[in-house]
A and B are shown apart, each in its own frame.
Chain A
Amino acid sequence: MDRNINKSAIDRRELLKTDPVEKLKRMIEIREFEEICFNLFAEGLIRGTTHLCNGQEAIAIGVAATLEVSDYVMCTYRGHGHALALGMTPKKVLSEIMGKKNGSMNGLGGSMHLSDLSIGLLPTSAIVGAGIPIAAGAAKTAQYKKTRGVAVSIFGDGATNIGAFHEGLNIAKVLNLPVIFICENNLYGEYSPLASTTPVTDLATRASSYNMRNYIVDGQEVDEVIKIVSEAVEYARNNEGPTFIEMKTYRYSGHSRSDPATYRPEGELESWLERDPIELYNKSLITQKVISEQDKDTIIKETKISLLEIKDIVTNLDEPEDHYLFQNIYSD
Chain B
Amino acid sequence: MNEDPDVIIMGEDIAVAGGPWKTSEGLLDKFGSERVIDTPIAEMGFMGMALGAACTGLRPVVEIMFVEFLGVAIDQLSTEAAKFRYLSGGELSVPLVVRATTGAGLGFGAQHSQTLESWFYSTPGLKLSVMSSPQTAYGLLRSAINDNNPVVILEPRSLFANRDEVVRGDEGIIPLGKSRTITEGTEITIVGLGSTVESIKEASKEIKFSTEIIDLLSLIPWDKESILESVKKTGRLVTVEESPLTGGWGAEIISYISSKCFNDLKAPPFRITAPDTHIPFNEKLEKKYIPSVSYIKDSINSYLTTSEVPLAWWENGNG
A: residues with CB less than 8 A from B are: 72, 74, 104-106, 108-109, 113, 115-117, 122-125, 127, 130, 132-142, 144-145, 151, 163-164, 166-168, 170-171, 174-175, 327-332
Contact = CB atoms under 8 A, between A and B. Distances in A.
Interface string B47-69: 11111111111101000000000
B45 A72 contact: no
B37 A164 contact: no
B48 A133 contact: yes
B52 A328 contact: no
B45 A115 contact: no
A330 B88 CA distance: 12
Main secondary structure of the interface of B (DSSP, over half): mixed
B91 A331 contact: no
B171 interface: no
B52 A163 contact: no
27 contacts: A72-B52, A105-B87, A115-B87, A115-B91, A125-B87, A133-B49, A133-B76, A134-B55, A136-B49, A137-B50, A137-B54, A140-B58, A144-B53, A163-B44, A166-B45, A167-B40, A167-B42, A167-B46, A167-B48, A171-B42, A329-B86, A329-B124, A329-B125, A330-B127, A330-B149, A331-B85, A331-B93
A175 B71 CA distance: 24
Nearest to A171: B45
Q: Which of B52, B83, B88 has the most CB of A within 10 A?
A: B52
A123 B40 CA distance: 26
Contacts of A330: 85, 125, 127, 149
B94 A331 contact: yes
Contacts of A171: 39-40, 42, 45-46, 49
B86 A136 contact: no
A130 B148 contact: no
Nearest to B125: A329
B55 A130 contact: no
A144 B80 contact: no
B169 interface: no
Given A144-B58, A330-B125, A130 B45 contact: no
Contact of B75 (A108, A127, A137, A328): A127
Given A117-B92, A130-B76, A331-B149, A144 B34 contact: yes
B145 interface: no
Contact of A136 (B34, B48, B88, B127): B48
Contact of A130 (B79, B85, B89, B91): B79
Interface residues on B, range: 35 or more
Given A130-B75, A330-B125, A331-B148, A138 B42 contact: no
B8 interface: yes
B121 to A, nearest CB: 15
Interface string B14-34: 000000000000000000001
Which are the 10 A-B pairs with shortest beta-carbon distances?
Answer: A137-B52, A133-B48, A167-B45, A123-B87, A331-B148, A137-B49, A134-B52, A328-B90, A167-B42, A137-B53
Given A108-B86, A115-B92, A137-B50, 17 more contacts: A106-B89, A127-B75, A133-B46, A133-B48, A133-B51, A134-B51, A134-B52, A144-B35, A144-B53, A144-B58, A163-B72, A164-B45, A167-B45, A167-B48, A168-B48, A175-B37, A329-B86
Nearest to B50: A137
B52 A104 contact: no
B79 A127 contact: yes
Contacts of A106: 89
A109 to B, nearest CB: 6
B89 A328 contact: yes
Contacts of A113: 87
B129 to A, nearest CB: 14
A301 B46 CA distance: 48
Nearest to B53: A137
Nearest to B95: A331
Nearest to A120: B56
Contact of A139 (B52, B76, B94): B52
Nearest to A137: B52
Contacts of B39: 171
A117 to B, nearest CB: 4
Contacts of B45: 133, 136, 164, 166-168, 170-171
A168 B87 CA distance: 21
A134 B80 contact: yes
A140 B76 contact: no
Contacts of A108: 86, 89
A170 B40 contact: yes
A168 B85 CA distance: 22
A124 B80 CA distance: 10
A117 B27 CA distance: 33
Contacts of A141: 52-53, 56-58
